[in-house]
Structure 1
Amino acid sequence: MNDTAVRYLQMVLLIPRFPNSITATKLHQKLQDLGHKIDKRSIERDLNKLSSGNSPFPLTSSEGRPAQWSWLREAEVTHLPALNPATALTLELAHRHLAALLPHNALVALEPLFKSARKVLDETAQLGLARWSDKVAAVPENQPLLPASISASVHETIHQALLTEKRLEISYRAAGQERPKRYPVNPLGLVSRGGAYYLVATARDYPDPRNFALHRIASATLLDDPAIKPVGFNLRRYIAERSFELPLGGDLNLELRVSPWLAGYLDERKLSPDQTLTPIRGHEEQRLHATVANTDQLRWWLRSFGPNVEVVKPASLRRKLAEEFAEMAELYQG
């Protein structure tokens, strides 16, 4: 490959995608740093040639002075080396499952890459790997629910606040309330859970983080003030401390009497590392012991198995569920 071809190749690799841009002067400096002995005027001629109608490179320039050079926003991504099916498949699956967690401007910037990945998969459809995305799926364990409607502007503003670490003023309607209330919040993170999305933030000047469902945020305004982050806050630790499992406090030494099929299921997918299953003499059921977090989610899970599980201990949880099931029985008898 001759020097001119190498220079052309390095030039197009140095030019960013719109809305980012580079001037001929900056490009000239970068090429000199790479060892190319060429004047700025030659760079300008090269740019005009590379952006001509006969060129395979979709380059554009601004009309102002100095001209700002960019790849077209919608230009197909050119890879050196080209995307292989395995990389394209990874990008396709990432787009399918992570799009809602990516900032809007990142999605816009990555769309040509996702488009290129889809094209590679279409062109290699005869390969088993290219059809992999049609052979794998994620199925929710619980009853699937339609996702709640989230305002696109709210979603984008929250992403922007997290990126710039700025405060927000939100109009939020809490569960059970008819009208939203407005107050400033310090955004700390965005979490996906069960098909819904939650903004983790502190409200006003209170130090304790709260979870705000995005579908209950009527509007969000980005403020100029920097967000105030609690000392030592870590999103992963916050989630690990069961802040998304509606904690009621402490752990429970749980004792259950479970049906044979449920015993088999829980023998494969344990409730806790210390779980034990033991036969009950003269019965098909088995006795289960486990140390678990005391959460509302545990109660929802126990209710879902109906007569296939009986809470033996703790006595307080047994009484609570007994009262609920008595009310349910009365409801259905009526």
Structure 2
Amino acid sequence: MAKKKTKATSKKAGKKKRVSARPTRVAKKKIGYDDSALRLIATLQYIPTEAPGVTTAQINEMHNQHGGEISLRTTQRDLNSLEKIFDIKKSGKKSPRWYWEYKQGIAVIPAHDQFSALTWNLLEQYLEPLLPWPMRSSISPHFATARHVLEQGSTPRLDRWRSSVRIIPSNLQLRQPRVEESVTRIVYEGIWHGEQITLHYRKRGADSTGRYDIDPCGIVVRGNIVYLVGRVHRRDTIQQFALHRAESAAFSGREADIPEDFDLDEYIREGNFNYVQGEEVDLVLRMDNYVAQHLVECPINETQQVVPAGDNECEVHVRVVDTQQLRWWLQGYGSRLRVLAPDSLKSWLREEIETLQDYYARE
């Protein structure tokens, strides 16, 4: 009898040993929804960043689609618990819809430390003015979170850093013109979905708007201006439309007809945003060494060469395309720079100077 008892005991012990190895493997498969903490994180991820939001049933369905077989009641309890901690809000009573309200920014996991919050804060100061309006609204909760972290965790070292870093523009900085948010939304969605857009657009200097059915080819942000690059319906040429001059936008109901050979990068490389005035030229400039030091440190392009010219002066040789942007740049140096070649640019500068002389002589 003792032997049988011992044998039975060893079998029982063996069975326990085999069972004890299984839970880890099983738990790994179901950890996404058996673990309530991870289920709550997933719930937060399913809540959209702005109104009108999603219903409790929709969130529950998203859980089920991702392998979490949980009840609608469980999802309701989770949302009610999360509402007490996070900035999520529900609208309506009968079938409430949930969305983020962002009183203190977005909940970031992992949370910001002071260094990452500082990085976002710098991005807000110097990048946000360049962003189109819809992009600003989508990223603003991240900026708000970073500000909140910095305000709550202020230290002498952090304050010293924030007061010791600045970025300033190299040229006169103009304010960004206001673009109707509905216009930008339609334009961006039209490009995304490949749909033709109808713009009511006022050309520069025009007294009234005109209607344009446009096949949108791309968006280009140049300085503080956002341009739609596209082709007016049944025309061959690609044109540019500054979005702040559009009064309204809508979908025309037609699919966009984009030229198969169109390439936005090639379009830019061809100089379409530099207002080309002529062909590629061999530009030769003479200036004093002090002024030329800027070009030595920041060359125009890889063809640039700087050679001594005596009397504390030098010559700059570079091959460039003759553009309106180049001409504005040359004018900016005034009398501290002389154009030696090509003759076309010398003649243009001479005419500009004579026009200015006549203008000021009449005063």
TM-score interval, smaller chain? 0.7 to 0.9
Q: Is the 8 A contact 1:275 1:288 kept in 2?
A: yes
1:326 is aligned to 2:361: no
1:305 is aligned to 2:297: no
Deviation at 1:153, TM superposition (A): 3.5
Runs of 5+ unmatched residues, structure 1: none
Alignment of 1:169-180 (within 5 A): 169-180=198-209
The amino acid across from 2:169 in the alignment is P
Identify the match of residue 26 of structure 1 among 50, 54, 61: 61
- Computing the radius of gyration from Cα coordinates, the structure with the larger value is 2
1:47 is aligned to 2:82: no
Residues 7, 108 of structure 1: alpha-carbon distance in 2 compared, 3 angstrom cutoff: same
| Aligned counterpart, 2:295 | 266
| Aligned counterpart, 2:320 | 292
Higher share in helix: 2
Deviation at 1:246, TM superposition (A): 0.5
| Aligned counterpart, 2:18 | none
Q: Is the 8 A contact 2:281 2:342 kept in 1?
A: yes
Deviation at 1:289, TM superposition (A): 0.8
Would you identify which runs of 4 or more consecutive aligned residues in structure 1 move more than 6 Å? none
Q: Which stretch of the first structure deviates more once superposed, 209-218 or 124-133?
A: 124-133
Provide the aligned C-alpha RMSD in A. 3.3
Deviation at 1:119, TM superposition (A): 0.9
The amino acid across from 1:9 in the alignment is L
The amino acid across from 2:319 in the alignment is T
Q: TM-score of the superposition, structure 1-length normalised?
A: 0.81
Deviation at 1:254, TM superposition (A): 0.7
Q: TM-score of the superposition, structure 2-length normalised?
A: 0.75
Deviation at 1:46, TM superposition (A): 5.2
Q: Which stretch of the first structure deviates more once superposed, 75-84 or 302-311?
A: 75-84
Q: Is the 8 A contact 1:202 1:208 kept in 2?
A: yes
Residues 254, 207 of structure 1: alpha-carbon distance in 2 compared, 3 angstrom cutoff: same
Alignment of 1:65-76 (within 5 A): 70-74=98-102, 76=105
Identity of aligned residues (%): 27
Residues 138, 171 of structure 1: alpha-carbon distance in 2 compared, 3 angstrom cutoff: farther
Aligned residues: 324
Q: Is the 8 A contact 2:133 2:179 kept in 1?
A: no
CA distance in 1, matches of 2:335, 2:246: 39
Query: Residue deviations 1:60-94, cap 9 Å, x none?
Result: 48656xx6763444465333321223333343344
Runs of 5+ unmatched residues, structure 2: 1-30
Query: Residue deviations 1:278-305, cap 9 Å, x none?
Result: 2224x33212211011111111111111
Alignment of 1:274-285 (within 5 A): 274-281=303-310, 283-285=311-313
Alignment of 1:228-247 (within 5 A): 228-247=257-276
1:164 is aligned to 2:199: no
3-state SS in 1 of match to 2:286: strand
CA distance in 1, matches of 2:139, 2:175: 27
